[in-house]
Chain A
Amino acid sequence: MEDKPGISQELQARFGEAVLAQQLTRDDVPTFWIAKDRISDVLRYLKSDVEKPFRMLYDLTAIDERVRANRQNQPESDYTLVYILRSFDRNADIRLKVPLLGESPAISSITSIWPSANWYECEVWDMFGVSFDGHPHLRRILMPPSWEGHPLRKDHPARATEMGRYELPVEKEKKGVESLQFRPEDWGMQRQSEDADFMFLNVGPQHPGTHGVFRIVLQLFGEEIIDAVPDIGYHHRGAEKMGERQSWHTYIPYTDRVDYLGGVMNNLPYVMAVEKLAGIEVPDRVKVIRIMMSELFRIISHLVFYGTYAQDLGQLSPVLYMFTDRERAFEIVEAVTGARMHPSWFRIGGVKEDLPDGWDQKMMDFVNYMYPRLKEYDSLVMQNRIFQARTKGIGQYTTEEAIEWGVTGPGLRATGCAWDYRKQRPYSGYDQFDFDIPTGSRGDCYDRAVVHVGEMRQSLRIIEQCVKEMPPGPYKANHPRTTPPLKERTMHDIETLITHFLNVSWGPVIPPGEAAATVEGTKGNNTYYLVSDGNTVSYRTRIRTPSFPHLQMIPLISRGMMIPDLLAILGSIDFVLADVDR
């Protein structure tokens, strides 16, 4: 990130007055305030004209600033739009903020610059009521179409008990059902062409092939897919809104349930972001424990991917073998954390407990067991001729398309781009480990599976190194904001007792500021962007999940394919709906 002053000068020189301010954040991502009428120009410039451009729209979200107390040196704003761009050439991100004023602000859409902005802008409209001029189809994307209000506004209640009695008169019910009726005209689709009537097939939200409550409407010519409209939001639980109610500490269990196959992998970006805000430096042992458990969960999640993918293609057995293996991994997770799928085990400033006796033997047994199993699965699944015929050349996209649409993780690496967040911007001490980045070359369904399988092997390598090199030391940082704090000295001096008491009862107070932390999650890059207002709760919790942009890309890669191919594509993307809808 050496070129931080560089991009600042470039922007100042080119846009002068339009750059309203530069903001310092706790995460070293250069953050600029840009005037509303120039943002499109700035974005276009950063995407294509600047040297080493920022080609990916990594995230687009908003903050309701109306009741925020600590915003020194920031331009006046009611709703702030936040654009996060990523440059692969610079290996750097940039954050642009746009101040918006008024009750129902509007801004011009950037879907003409990045097609992937489509869903993000819908989400901002849905959650904050910011409208985008020139958006092709601005609609509610996560909430039901009949919802009133915009949930992430500060004046919108967070709990049903604050909302008054729920009533469902017949009229309202009818309207609700009607709003779910698919009308092709809304999406600019034709009902018939010159020589054929198209069939519109509703797949999901209850369908064995969609891996959860995901709905996709297909425009079919025979079995050929002409177009597809994904419909999400059935798994929306308001995880971001909950972040504004739960204390910094009690929010950890909610993160587990975002990518519900990823377990503690989800805790990691959250606790790292809080630690950045709080200024906590965690001990080495904590870092290695966190990496080890995260990688174990990467294997667990990839095993589910592998098995269900084969099952989507009609192979019955692999999923059962792989769930048995997963069970072995869960036994270790259980021994270490006491829970299985959602251990919520990482803490602000450390992990919950030290590792139990005999953890290393269990871990090595698993590693030694898994290598030959993976080899066996290669001959069972990857080398199967029918499997290859079903996946090779299906759902293909190039590296450029992937970057354009915000694809990260295995989906990006399958196109041949060896970009792994763990290698490029090592966090939590990943630079100390020796591992390779598996890549594909064609970016099709088969390559995505190749990358997933390769990553399992690499994760085993990392776990092996963790077991061999586990450093001694404390499992929590010795810092007043570590939650819950180490208890040794609690009964010896009053200062520690007070801190302990406050941290456990109210939860820690995190100093005002903004920070984001990203990890290479099981499904792609997962970021928690936290805004603290100096309180016991977060002012704004933004969860940037990988599955959201991945699903947005489905229509692009499934056009011209057949229905079975769509299932191969869905299986190969490796998404969970909780990760999409949050």
Chain B
Amino acid sequence: MSETVLHLINVLGILIVVLSIAASLPWVERRLLGYLQDRYGPNRVGPFGVLQTVADAIKLFTKEDWIPPFADKPVFIIAPTVIMTTILTSFAVVPFSPGIGVIDLNIGLLFFLAMSSLGVYSVMLAGWSANNKYSLLGALRAAAQMLSYEVFMGLSLMGVVIISGTFNLRNIVLAQKNMWFCIPQIIGLIVFIIAALAETRRLPFDLTEAESELVAGYHIEYSGMKFGMFYIGEYVGVTLISSMIVTLFFGGWQGPFLPPIVWFIIKTFFFIGLFITLRASLPRPRFDQLMSYGWKVMLPLALLNLLVTGGIVLATGS
């Protein structure tokens, strides 16, 4: 009985914490961008503007829930829920600290990859069902971009799997007790970060919404809370990717003095900050450049990394 309650607390706690972190991220991002760009950012609602997200949420919830008459209605409604579902489900396998985490799947890593692959459906269906030329172009780009970047995202993680000998994320963290995988797997880390950026569709990989070209791309016809799902979904995605980087390459919850969960949160926020800073500084490559970069540079690099790691592990016999 008490175990069930504990589980429930665990699950609900993670859900609430993750969602509230994701919901506060727009404010963090806007303030940080403001700081980087010599301006204030939102500072009117509440102290330092922290309640900005609340105001935004109220606005999104109370807006008319409009569906364009030319859209494919059921698909149009389902699309935004897919992205939230897949990303939130992925959090189930993330080991936040020794006692916190929803489930210990022995194929946790594969589960994460599978879920992030499903995420692309959301964008594709949204772009397709809206029946708008701009959103169609956005969806086309999304399909190509996410499918090709997924290939080496998976491959870049195989080095970690070889060294630790497991797909279980908790065991991967434990395997980093002596050395974080960011050192032996530095190439894997770089490839993974780039692929992960592409998965979250943020600048410089925001070709699917490319404001100056496609206006808003795949979610051009969305408004109200349906748009809010995409909007928050992006930030939940950033949180997920950051916590995956921490789990796979930076020793997860491990660290001296502070309690494990605090270490986990500090590390995760570091990478969230990195993503935001990248957004402030880089322009957007062209679609075909992105593709050739992925297939011609990143994929060979990931394969090479896999080969060398495998060779070394075989040779040392560890």
Contact = CB atoms under 8 A, between A and B. Distances in A.
Interface string B198-224: 000001101000111111000000000
Interface string A85-104: 00000000000000000000
A567 B212 contact: yes
B133 A201 contact: yes
Contact of B38 (A321, A562, A564): A321
B284 to A, nearest CB: 3
Nearest to B207: A564
Given A199-B133, A201-B133, A317 B36 contact: yes
A386 B140 CA distance: 22
A484 interface: no
Interface string B114-146: 000000000000000000011001001000000
Contact of A310 (B206, B279, B283): B283
A223 B137 contact: yes
B212 A209 contact: yes
B66 interface: no
Contacts of B280: 316-317
Contacts of A565: 286
A316 B33 contact: yes
A386 B211 contact: no
A384 B287 contact: no
Nearest to A210: B212
Contact of A314 (B38, B204, B215): B204
A320 B33 CA distance: 11
B38 A324 contact: yes
B146 to A, nearest CB: 17
A390 B134 CA distance: 21
Contacts of B288: 562
B2 interface: no
A317 B203 contact: no
A471 interface: no
B178 interface: no
A223 B212 contact: no
A320 B39 CA distance: 8
B37 interface: yes
Nearest to A310: B283
Contacts of A390: 283-286, 289
A565 to B, nearest CB: 7
A315 interface: yes
A313 B36 contact: no
A315 B280 CA distance: 7
A314 B287 contact: no
Interface range on chain B (Cβ under 8 Å from partner): 20 to 34
Most buried by B among A199, A202, A208, A565: A208
Given A199-B133, A317-B37, A321-B37, A384 B283 contact: yes
A247 interface: no
A324 B282 CA distance: 19
A563 interface: yes
Contact of B287 (A209, A223, A310): A223
B281 A208 contact: no
Contacts of A311: 212
Contact of B210 (A199, A314, A386, A387): A314
B212 A208 contact: yes
A320 to B, nearest CB: 4
Contacts, number: 78
Given A208-B212, A316-B33, A567-B213, A386 B285 contact: yes
Given A320-B37, A321-B38, A389-B289, A315 B212 contact: no
Interface string A191-228: 00000000101100001110000000000000100000
A310 B203 CA distance: 14
A554 to B, nearest CB: 15
Given A199-B133, A386-B282, A312 B287 contact: no
Contacts of A209: 212-213
A565 B213 CA distance: 9
Given A317-B36, A321-B38, A208 B211 contact: yes
A316 B279 contact: yes
Interface string A357-384: 0000000000000000000000010001
B37 A386 contact: no
A562 B288 CA distance: 9
Contacts of B137: 201, 223, 563
Contacts of A201: 133-134, 137
Contacts of B203: 314, 316
B204 A386 contact: yes
Contacts of A564: 210, 213, 284, 286-287
A219 to B, nearest CB: 12
Contacts of A386: 204, 282-285
Nearest to A564: B286
Given A316-B33, A567-B213, A562 B287 contact: yes
Most buried by A among B134, B215, B286, B287: B286
Contacts of B38: 320-321, 324
Interface in A548-579: 562-565, 567
A389 B39 contact: no
A389 B285 contact: yes
A212 to B, nearest CB: 14
Contacts of A324: 38
A343 B255 CA distance: 62
Interface in B17-76: 33, 36-39
A440 to B, nearest CB: 20
Interface string A319-330: 011001000000
A137 to B, nearest CB: 25
Contacts of B133: 199, 201-202
Nearest to A207: B215
Nearest to A224: B288
Nearest to B37: A320
B241 to A, nearest CB: 20
A313 B284 CA distance: 6
A278 B65 CA distance: 65
B286 A389 contact: yes
Interface string B170-207: 00000000000000000000000000000000011010
Nearest to B293: A389
A220 to B, nearest CB: 9
A53 B204 CA distance: 49
B70 to A, nearest CB: 15
B268 to A, nearest CB: 23
Contacts of A389: 285-286, 289
Interface of A: 199, 201-202, 207-209, 223, 310-317, 320-321, 324, 380, 384, 386-387, 389-390, 562-565, 567
21 contacts: A199-B133, A201-B133, A208-B212, A223-B140, A310-B283, A313-B284, A314-B203, A314-B204, A314-B282, A315-B281, A315-B282, A315-B283, A316-B279, A317-B36, A317-B280, A386-B283, A386-B285, A390-B286, A390-B289, A562-B287, A563-B214
Interface of B: 33, 36-39, 133-134, 137, 140, 203-204, 206, 210-215, 279-289
Sorted nearest first, the 7 A-B pairs with minimum C-beta distance are A314-B284, A315-B283, A320-B37, A209-B212, A313-B283, A314-B283, A312-B212
Given A314-B206, A320-B38, 13 more contacts: A199-B133, A202-B133, A223-B137, A320-B39, A321-B38, A384-B283, A386-B282, A389-B289, A390-B283, A390-B284, A563-B214, A564-B287, A565-B286
